[in-house]
Structure 1
Amino acid sequence: MIDNETVRKLRQLDLSEFVDTLEMQEMDQDTRHLPFDERLQISIDYLYQEKYNKRVSGLIKRSKFRIQDADVASIHYEKREIDRQTLQELATCNYINHRQNVIFQGFTGSGKKYLACALGKEACKQEIRTRYVRLPDLLIERDEATLKPKGVTNLIKKFSNYGLLIIDEWLLDDLLEEDLKFLFEIIERRYDSGSTIYCTQFRKSDWHQRLGGGVHADAIMDRIVHNAVWYDTGQLNMCEHHSFNQQ
């Protein structure tokens, strides 16, 4: 076993996991007598996995997903009439590599939020900085930022820099002109540099009017719709479905 001073140095280098695996090897009869290079390989594999798990856990925590336990493997497909193949393709996160947007469109309770959070978690697993936010909360953050010097500018920069941004309750409430200008700045900066998932009850044909019907509506739609994957979340009310199955 390595001496205490070496253990101290490894922990100071933030390599406590490396110390842990060495200690486990000493207690395991199957590994303690392996050649040095094999033991080193086992230790490095363990260290890498532990560091990766911590990074992913941190990314998931900072993403602030509304549904923390959302997971692609747990998505319900039976009697739901949703496109399984497209959803599984989205789970690979290739759409993020191609800077595509995703729009989950469906009525309240159809599972938009769950699907978005599940895809967000897959992005975190690929170490992509992700953030979930409700549009009303984003606008509240904007209002609070106006009270600080360069607050709005910094907020726009913050939400522009995520590899994946999830905006829930998109277009649920009427938007003021100042709201449209703020959203346009974020969407413009994210255009062709990051991906955004929008969760909305409204069909594409309703968007222009919901966005005010003016030049900002044209500009916002052009940057969102141009390279987007539209996904209908089906007719099954998932809230009622889960409630029924738990009875």
Structure 2
Amino acid sequence: MNNITKDLKTLKLSGVAKTFEIRNEQAIKEKLSYIEFLELLLDDEMSNRKDNSYRKRTVNARFPSIKTLEEYDFNFQPKLNRQEIYNLATGEYIRKKENIVFIGPPGTGKTHLSVSLGVKALQQGYKVLFTSVSEMMESLFEAKADNSYHRKLKYYLTPDLLILDELGFRQLNENIVDLFYEIISKRYETGSVIITSNKPFDDWGSIFHDRILATAILDRIVHHCHLILIKGDSFRMKEQKQRIKQS
């Protein structure tokens, strides 16, 4: 048994190695055929690999924290179309290479919804990457300086879903806004993007310091896009008021 387990690990069949002994006992007790025994072991291996893949992709997604749709308080944002959000959670927009833009005031749950859709995408087997816009821009700018730009560009282009948080929260450096355009243009119709912003589309020209560039970016984002406007109150302000009442 020890030799078999060792060989299984050498062959990188760790799922089988974990359950081989108990499956062997099960096969003896239930008088399973060789085919039935093999089927159980293969199921264990596939399940183990799926779990390992999910854990690895979750780490690589770099979420600030794990949020789920079930945790989102739709009652606090009654104007938000719950059915539309759950339809997006099916991941059909990723298959179609479509985008999602959440626009609303700070604290209304834009990041929560983007992360929860990212978690759903991971569960469906997609690769996801979360980053703030400012962090991505800084990373690309630094990559230009140390000749690692093409590798860093690939890092943002490879995921099936790229989540760009807080567009417009900080003023972008006008000397590098073309890098944002390059990400959007290269992902256009090849990979989905979720963007959260506290600025309406009409204000995006000021974000990018150039209305022509902003128009080019918007054109590629909204061509295949689900626009979600959130006009409710801030969750954080709600929680703060509750704490004050309780104190």
TM-score by length of 2: 0.89
The number of residue pairs the alignment matches comes to 243
Is 2:27–2:37's contact at 8 Å kept on the other side of the alignment?
Answer: no
Partner Cα separation in structure 2 for residue 50 and residue 74 of structure 1: 27
Higher helix share: 2
- How far apart are 1:154 and its partner, in Å? 2.6
Distance verdict in 2 for CA 1:26–1:240, change over 3 Å? farther
Partner Cα separation in structure 2 for residue 141 and residue 210 of structure 1: 18
1:81-160 maps to which residues of 2 (within 5 A)?
81=78, 82-149=80-147, 151-160=148-157
- How far apart are 1:14 and its partner, in Å? 1.1
Of residues 80-89 and 169-178 in structure 1, the stretch that sits farther from structure 2 once superposed is 169-178
Partner Cα separation in structure 1 for residue 199 and residue 97 of structure 2: 23
Is 1:110–1:235's contact at 8 Å kept on the other side of the alignment?
Answer: yes
Partner Cα separation in structure 2 for residue 88 and residue 142 of structure 1: 33
Q: Determine helix, strand or coil for the equivalent of 1:127.
A: coil
Is 2:141–2:176's contact at 8 Å kept on the other side of the alignment?
Answer: no
User: Counterpart of 2:99 in structure 1: which amino acid?
Assistant: N
Q: Determine helix, strand or coil for the equivalent of 2:70.
A: helix
| CA RMSD after TM alignment | 2.3
Please list the CA deviations of residues 135-187 of structure 1 after superposition, one character each: whole Å capped at 9, or x if unmatched: 111122123213312x2233222212221101111122223332221111111
Distance verdict in 2 for CA 1:132–1:212, change over 3 Å? same
Tell me, yes or no, if structure 1 residue 222 matches structure 2 residue 219. yes
TM-score by length of 1: 0.89
Aligned counterpart, 1:39: 37
Aligned counterpart, 1:182: 179
The one of 190, 210, 222 aligned to 2:207: 210
Distance verdict in 2 for CA 1:233–1:144, change over 3 Å? same
- How far apart are 1:6 and its partner, in Å? 2.6
| Structure 2 spans left out of the alignment, 5+ residues | none
Runs of 4+ in 1 over 6 A off after TM superposition: none
